[in-house]
């Protein structure tokens, strides 16, 4: 069934409209364009979301500019109090948010709660903002002259987020942006937009002043309006690589600070001395969690020939124990985000066959614990994938795990370093020397040693290399505070008559 067909089938249930959020309240804007929001486990439309016009974005940025003026002057103590209140509210009510994530994204409840936990971690890091916002002071750099630096907010900052983490990715950025004294305009994915409004209402409850947190829903028109708006000082983007590249180039063209996190193809190299049971567990967890719709999912296992047959058998056996179905029913894996995406992902199984790979587990037509109309695809395992195949090269972003057989460490490393992506990778081995060599030699931003999804904790920063990150600042951690602040250096002397006199030379120290 096409998206349009599904919409027609459930049109009667799709009358609710999700508004933007401006000045601490829902706002309809002026655009009449909307997009359907599906429940992927049912395959039906549950609401419509507004798609902002450029003038709607302008109105939202005007409100945010007023918010930025108010918030930048709030004391550190006041800002911290609001952050702590937000943290407490989010922790107390995370179950509500998890339900929203499951209903619109499809991820199972335990995974939704995991997403929120990793976002909360960044809120907690942001609560410690006083130590991150401190400047430096050098006394008497020249006689009776001191130099010190201050960190100040940018003003209005834009965040554009992807469908696969409707809560965590916005939390990565806005917690730090707000802690640093900025006002945020968030443009969430139009596929699962409700979490953004829920979070916005929570900020109001926590005492954040009007205009400091704004949500504009939309598609390319809203994104382009944010990119071009003169009062938006920075753009933080997360999404697919082609769009990340576009965002990076456009934001730079319009004079903005930009960090644009892109797509991924994450490899897990399994050496012959690894514990194969732990490696198989890890491959299944990291390959099929969230139906493979994670930028840190393992999508390729590089299995050294000597252990490849045994490892593939162990992975396949574990896959047989997974339950695919409605995320509300305690299953292991939910549906894909849209019907079109499900069909695209499933299409790679035929591509694999025609490219000479062997399909070990085919996830099409599996029995699911859920509505027949859902966008289902079961866990799929493809062995002996040639690196020339689109199955290897493309970011599939679904529950399809490829196995590429390699001769040894050097062969595996060469494949990883030959990939245009460099988001995450993992090595499974019991050899410390091999692991240490891997961490030095691999051209990837986040590395796991016997850890399959190496998402750094909030006080380190998150980001990949190569086509997985455009810009020079990663997300959250120390990079987050660097990105969302601008530094001022002050050179100060309190007047002393002995320093009078004319001297047109360039200032030097005495």
**Per rule CB under 6 A, count of chain residues that contact ligand NAD:** 27
Matching residue, tokens 């660097």: 482
- Say how far apart CA 445 and CA 469 lie, in whole Å: 9
Does 274 contact ligand NAD by CB under 6 A? no
Nearer to ligand NAD, 170 or 379 (CB): 170
Binding window for ligand NAD (CB under 6 A); candidates: 67-75, 239-247, 303-311, 344-352: 239-247
Coil, strand or helix: which one is 305? helix
CA–CA separation, 250 vs 237, rounded Å? 12
Nearer to ligand NAD, 214 or 429 (CB): 214
Per-residue mark of binding to ligand NAD, 185-224 (x: CB under 6 A): --x-xx----------------------------xx--x-
Binding mask 15-54 for ligand NAD (x = CB under 6 A): ----------------------------------------
Nearer of residues 106 and 263 to ligand NAD, judged by Cβ: 263
Residue 101 contacts ligand NAD per CB under 6 A: no
**Minimum CB–partner distance for residue 298 and ligand NAD (Å):** 13
Q: Site for ligand NAD (CB under 6 A): which residue of 112, 129, 258, 264?
A: 264
Q: What is the H or E stretch that residue 48 is in? A: strand 44-50
Nearer to ligand NAD by Cβ, of 209 and 289: the residue is: 289
Q: Is 127 in the active site?
A: no
**What residues have CB less than 8 Å from 58, skipping those under 6 apart?**
225, 229
Q: CB-based contacts of 127: which residues, under 8 Å, 6+ apart?
A: 80, 83, 84, 87, 179
Say if CB 342 and CB 376 are below 8 A apart.
Answer: yes
* Cα 333-476-264 angle, rounded to 5 deg: 45
Distance of CA 13 to the CA centre of its chain: 30
3-state secondary structure of 56: helix
- Name the active-site residue from 227, 295, 385, 400: 295
What's the closest the beta carbon of residue 473 comes to ligand NAD, in angstroms? Answer: 13
Footprint of ligand NAD on residues 107-136 (CB under 6 A)?
none
Tallying the residues shown for the chain, one arrives at 510
Site for ligand NAD in 466-495 (CB under 6 A): 468
243 counts as binding ligand NAD under rule CB under 6 A = yes
338 lines the binding site for ligand NAD (CB under 6 A): no
DSSP H helix total and E strand total for the chain: 17, 23
Question: Which residue in 192, 426, 402, 411 sits closest to 296, CA to CA?
Answer: 426
Return the structure tokens found at 426. Answer: 């993992």
Could you list the beta-strand ranges (E) of 189-297: 213-215, 232-238, 257-261, 266-270
Grouping H, G, I as helix, E, B as strand and the rest as coil, residue 9 is: helix
**Residues within window 141-180 making contact with ligand NAD, judged by CB under 6 A:** 160-165, 169
Q: What angle do CA 67, 100, 292 make, to 5 degrees?
A: 110
Shortest distance in whole angstroms from residue 158 CB to ligand NAD: 11
Nearest residue (CB) to ligand NAD, 376 versus 397: 397
Q: Per CB under 6 A, does 339 bind ligand NAD?
A: no
Which residues does the annotation mark as catalytic? Answer: 295
Q: By CB under 6 A, name the binding residues for ligand NAD.
A: 160-165, 169, 187, 189-190, 219-220, 223, 238-240, 243, 261-264, 295, 395, 397, 423, 464, 468
């Amino acid at each position: 069934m096409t998206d349009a067909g599904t919409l027609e089938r459930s049109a009667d249930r799709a009358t609710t409209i999700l508004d933007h959020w401006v000045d601490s309240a829902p706002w309809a804007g002026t655009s009449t364009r909307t997009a359907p929001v599906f429940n992927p486990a049912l395959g039906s439309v549950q609401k419509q979301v507004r798609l902002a016009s450029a003038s709607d974005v302008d109105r939202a940025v005007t409100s945010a500019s007023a918010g930025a003026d108010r918030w930048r002057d709030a004391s550190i103590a006041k800002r911290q109090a609001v952050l702590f209140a937000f943290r407490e509210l989010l922790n107390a009510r995370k179950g509500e948010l998890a339900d929203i994530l499951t209903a619109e994204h499809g991820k199972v409840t335990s995974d939704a709660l995991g997403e929120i936990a990793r976002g909360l971690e960044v809120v907690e890091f942001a609560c410690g903002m006083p130590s991150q916002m401190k400047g430096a002071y050098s006394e008497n750099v020249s006689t009776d002259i001191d130099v010190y630096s201050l960190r100040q907010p940018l003003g209005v900052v834009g965040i554009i987020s992807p469908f696969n983490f409707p809560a965590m990715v916005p939390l990565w950025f806005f917690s730090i942006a707000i802690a640093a004294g900025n006002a945020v305009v968030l443009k969430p994915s139009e596929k699962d937009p409700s979490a953004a409004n829920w979070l916005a209402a929570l900020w109001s409850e926590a005492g954040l002043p009007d205009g400091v947190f704004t949500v504009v829903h939309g598609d390319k028109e809203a994104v382009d309006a944010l990119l071009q708006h003169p009062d938006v000082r920075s753009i933080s983007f997360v999404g697919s690589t082609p769009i990340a590249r576009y965002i990076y180039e456009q934001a730079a063209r319009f004079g903005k600070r930009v960090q644009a996190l892109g797509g991924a193809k994450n490899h897990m190299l399994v050496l012959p001395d690894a514990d194969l049971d732990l490696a198989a567990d890890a491959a299944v967890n990291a390959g099929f969690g969230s139906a493979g719709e994670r930028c840190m999912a393992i999508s390729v296992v590089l299995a050294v020939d000597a252990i490849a047959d045994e490892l593939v058998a162990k992975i396949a056996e574990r896959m047989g124990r997974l339950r695919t179905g409605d995320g509300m029913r305690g299953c292991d894996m939910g549906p894909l985000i849209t019907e079109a995406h499900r069909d695209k992902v499933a299409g790679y199984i035929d591509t694999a066959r025609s490219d000479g790979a062997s399909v070990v587990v085919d996830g099409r037509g599996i029995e699911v614990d859920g509505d027949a109309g859902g966008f289902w695809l079961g866990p799929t395992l493809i062995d002996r994938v040639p690196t020339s195949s689109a199955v290897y090269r493309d970011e599939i972003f679904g529950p399809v795990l490829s196995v590429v057989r390699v001769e040894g460490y050097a062969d595996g490393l060469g494949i990883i370093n030959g990939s245009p992506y460099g988001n995450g990778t993992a090595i499974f081995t019991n050899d410390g020397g091999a692991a240490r060599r891997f961490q030095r030699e691999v051209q990837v931003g986040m590395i796991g040693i016997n850890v399959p999804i190496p998402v750094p904790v909030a006080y380190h920063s998150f980001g990949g290399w190569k086509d997985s990150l455009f810009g020079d600042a990663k997300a959250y951690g120390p990079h987050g505070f660097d990105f969302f602040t601008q530094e001022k250096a002050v050179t100060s002397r309190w007047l002393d008559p002995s320093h009078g006199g004319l001297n047109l030379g360039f200032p030097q120290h005495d």
